[in-house]
Amino acid sequence: MRTIVHRHLGKVVAGAAIAVAGTAVMVGITLPGSAGADDSVGGNGAGQTSQQAGQGQDQAQGAVQPGVVEEAPAEGDKGKGRDPLTDDETERVEKLALDQQLFRSSENVEGDKGPQRITVDLAEPDESELDDPNAPRRAEVSFYDYKDDSLVTKTVNLDTGKVEGTDTQHGVQPPLSRAETVEAAQLLITDRLGAGLKADFKDSTGKELTSPDQLLLNSMVYRANAGTPAALADCGKHRCLRLFVKAKNGPWIDSRDLVVDLSARKIAKVG
């Protein structure tokens, strides 16, 4: 009887061992983490089987696949259709718009020859070209001429390189360029009415204010109204602005009561 029991237990143990071994074989075939764990054993085929099985399980469970980030395409020297102007197009169209006659007869914000560039934008197509996919690309280049306070806008055909139109207006005040804002700050720093700005800058930073480079600047066009002082009566015809000033790594400094007339290169107080 004892011998029979031993033999019976031996069969049970042996059967359990076979079952465990069989389970391990099944796990090795079906689970993605075990089959192909060693790529040097079993070759590429084993690894692909495991990867495919893993992907199948992820899809079955609704797992979100990792996103793919693609690099932005390199900007060409010429855009198409309604694409924004490329850097090459912007540089080229500005040269085409600024002919020698305009250069010699105009002045920029610093009083040097040549008008002050304001904007370069893609022009709207003509009405007859709205549905034409091959319509020519055009750009509008705007300059401010400080010699006679005029806004000069030129339309340039980017395909032919020809200036197709020129428009000159007075009393029109487009948004200010960075160069104009910086020049206004320079005028304010050197003017007697800029003493308060410099004092506030010294109090807040402990340093002397000598250059616009020490400031963060914003600006807004100023036009004369019913309560405008006589010194600023031409603002609107002249290029005038208010500055909004912040010390770099420091506080805002209120200078809203001062208006800079860039055309006359003068400063006056309002309010």
Name the least confident of 17-21, 182-186, 254-258. Answer: 17-21
Rounded mean pLDDT of 43-71?
49
Average pLDDT over residues 29-55: 43
What average pLDDT does the segment 218-236 reach? 95
Q: Is the pTM of this model over 0.85?
A: no
Pure H helices in 31-121: 43-60, 87-97, 100-105
Residue 45 burial by Cβ neighbours in a 10 Å radius (0-12, 13-18, 19+): exposed
Identify the sign of the CA torsion 85, 88, 91, 94. Answer: negative
Q: Which of 9-18, 46-55, 170-179, 240-249 is predicted with the least confidence, judged by mean pLDDT?
A: 9-18
Q: What CA–CA distance (Å, rounded) separates 161 from 164?
A: 9
Structure tokens at 51: 């990867």
